[in-house]
């Protein structure tokens, strides 16, 4: 990691006309509550800071568990490689109203968490969207790490010497970490993943319910006591224009969420991992879906499940980005030099910024088309059909007709 290659590493800034803010919401301190990072158009501000990309060391520990490597060693390595990076958004910056914003709920991949897709989420916010990047938690345990709060016991309170009368809500709570659940030896994978994808879809719908509550001006309790004033979001969202988006396991979550909730008007699935889904749901999904795939991850069985969503009457689109790998969508791809990036399969052959730019522009064009937006994203309509030197219309994978 010589300085020559590391000095230009970093998550690319958003390209849209609006500055981007972000804040964390945790409604209900228990593990069943909704937890997400919200990205939104913000007022330009001198004071605001950009948050750390990885919020704290427990997330590094979770990544180590997910990757099956030693925590102590990996914490040092991760901290060295990734500890100094910031998210391209201003923490708790004041919301800037520009008419009503369409809404996107974003679902992360297996072993990821709410902050790892900031290049995508910030880009959408810079174009006028409000984006909730959900952290999947509870019994799901498909994030590498996440947390909730539980009330301290009497003895814990006594040990802290906090008088009961003066204790604030935060004083009486203790942070509990939930780490990634590894598949047990001999355990069948489908029942676990199928249960998880259903819970994940429910968490996306719950996040949407919480945004609806914030939008209506009803008071909400944010356990995290941030500096962000959520009353400024009253009437800020266009709740007739909502989309679901996700990567990998999050791509399957998009399909499941569309099936469960018609308020999602369309979905964008980035390199979706279709395994967790029940076959019977494909016929029940009525909304348009856009599959944006990497060149190296997909295989015939997975593509043939996407093709089960093909429809004569509902728009189902698929493109493949040349030179990309499965990890070309999360932020990791921008944060390692070439040899480490390729060694860890975080980087493909294509410049990661070109790849994410194509993915984002194609997404914006698709969202404009299916949410009925009045914007200029239709300038990128050709990308939806794979018309670019770095795109393949459909897939690079050969799928035998008999498999479909």
For residue range 104-147, what is the model confidence (pLDDT) as tens digits?
999 999 989 999 999 999 999 999 999 999 999 866 688 889 98
pLDDT beyond 50 at 220 = yes
What is the pLDDT averaged over residues 362-372?
98
CA separation for the pair 296, 154 (Å, rounded): 54
pLDDT-based confidence at residue 31 (cuts at 50, 70, 90): low
Whether 359 is catalytic: no
CA separation for the pair 132, 129 (Å, rounded): 10
**pLDDT of res. 7:** 45
Whether 248 is catalytic: yes
Average pLDDT, the chain: 89
Whether 229 is catalytic: no
**pLDDT of res. 369:** 97
Six-digit token pair at 84?
């100094």
Per-domain residue ranges for the chain? 20-51+86-144+180-393
**pLDDT of res. 163:** 58
What is the pLDDT averaged over residues 217-231?
88
**Residue 153: Cβ-neighbour burial (10 angstroms; 0-12, 13-18, 19+):** exposed
Q: Which superfamily, per CATH, for 20-51+86-144+180-393?
A: Alpha/Beta hydrolase fold, catalytic domain (3.40.50.1820)
**pLDDT of res. 161:** 66
**pLDDT of res. 164:** 55
pLDDT-based confidence at residue 11 (cuts at 50, 70, 90): very high
301-315, 339-353, 380-394: least confidently modelled range: 339-353
- Strand 145-151 relative to strand 173-179, pairing: antiparallel
SS3 of residue 40 by DSSP:
strand
**pLDDT of res. 142:** 84
Report H helices in 217-349: 249-260, 300-307, 338-343
What is the pLDDT averaged over residues 313-327?
94
pLDDT tens across 61-100, in order? 989 888 888 888 888 888 888 888 999 999 999 999 888 9
Q: Which of the following is catalytic: 271, 294, 328, 388? A: 271
pLDDT beyond 90 at 400 = no
Q: Which of the following is catalytic: 126, 133, 236, 248? A: 248
**Residue 8: Cβ-neighbour burial (10 angstroms; 0-12, 13-18, 19+):** exposed
What is the pLDDT averaged over residues 175-200?
90
Dihedral angle sign, alpha carbons of residues 321, 322, 325, 331: negative
Strand order in the sheet with 34-42: 90-91, 19-27, 34-42, 130-134, 101-107, 237-247, 264-270, 289-294, 316-321, 391-393
pLDDT tens across 146-184, in order? 988 888 777 776 777 655 554 455 667 888 888 888 888
What is the pLDDT averaged over residues 245-274?
98
Q: Which of the following is catalytic: 29, 108, 326, 370? A: 326
pLDDT-based confidence at residue 223 (cuts at 50, 70, 90): confident
**pLDDT of res. 403:** 46
pLDDT tens across 260-311, in order? 999 999 999 999 999 999 999 999 999 999 999 999 999 999 999 999 998 8
- Strand 237-247 relative to strand 316-321, pairing: unpaired
pLDDT-based confidence at residue 346 (cuts at 50, 70, 90): confident
**pLDDT of res. 6:** 39
Q: Give residue for tokens 């919480």.
A: 210
> 338 versus 302: which is more confidently predicted?
302
Which candidate, 197, 236, 192, places its Cα nearest to that of 216?
236
């Amino acid at each position: 990691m010589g300085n020559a290659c590391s000095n230009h590493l970093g998550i690319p800034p958003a390209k849209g006309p609006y500055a981007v803010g972000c804040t964390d919401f945790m409604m209900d301190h228990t593990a069943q509550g909704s937890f997400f990072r919200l990205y939104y158009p913000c007022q330009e501000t001198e004071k605001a800071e950009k948050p750390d990309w990885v919020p704290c060391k427990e997330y590094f520990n979770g990544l180590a568990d997910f990757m099956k490597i030693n925590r102590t060693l990996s914490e040092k390595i991760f901290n060295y490689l990734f500890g100094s990076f910031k998210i391209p958004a201003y923490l708790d910056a004041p919301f800037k109203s520009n008419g009503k914003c369409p809404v996107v709920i974003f679902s992360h991949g297996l072993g990821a968490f709410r902050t790892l897709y900031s290049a995508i989420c910030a880009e959408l916010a810079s174009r006028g969207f409000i984006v909730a990047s959900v952290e999947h938690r509870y019994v799901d345990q498909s994030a590498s790490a996440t947390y909730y709060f539980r009330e301290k016991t009497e003895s814990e309170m006594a040990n802290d010497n906090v008088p009961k009368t003066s204790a604030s809500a935060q004083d009486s709570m203790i942070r509990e970490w939930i780490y990634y659940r590894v598949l047990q030896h001999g355990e069948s994978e489908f029942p676990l993943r199928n249960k998880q994808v259903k819970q994940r879809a429910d968490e996306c719908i719950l996040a949407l319910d919480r945004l609806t509550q914030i939008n209506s001006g009803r008071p909400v309790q944010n356990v995290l006591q941030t500096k962000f004033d959520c009353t400024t979001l009253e009437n800020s969202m266009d709740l007739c224009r909502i989309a679901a988006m996700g990567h990998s396991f999050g791509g399957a979550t998009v399909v499941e969420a569309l099936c469960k909730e018609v308020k999602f008007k369309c979905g964008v699935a980035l390199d979706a991992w279709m395994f967790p889904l029940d076959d019977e749901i494909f016929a029940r999904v009525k909304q348009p879906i856009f599959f944006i795939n990497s060149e190296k991850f997909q295989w015939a069985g997975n593509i043939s499940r996407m093709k089960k969503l093909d429809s004569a009457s509902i728009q189902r689109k698929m493109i493949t980005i040349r030179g990309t790998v499965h990890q070309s969508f999360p932020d990791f791809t921008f944060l390692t030099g070439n040899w480490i990036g390729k060694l860890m399969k975080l980087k493909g052959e294509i410049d990661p910024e070109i790849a994410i730019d194509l993915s984002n522009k194609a997404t914006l064009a698709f969202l404009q088309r299916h949410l009925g937006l009045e914007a200029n994203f239709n300038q990128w309509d050709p990308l939806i059909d794979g018309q670019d030197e770095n795109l393949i219309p459909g897939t690079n994978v050969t799928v035998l007709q008999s498999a479909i």
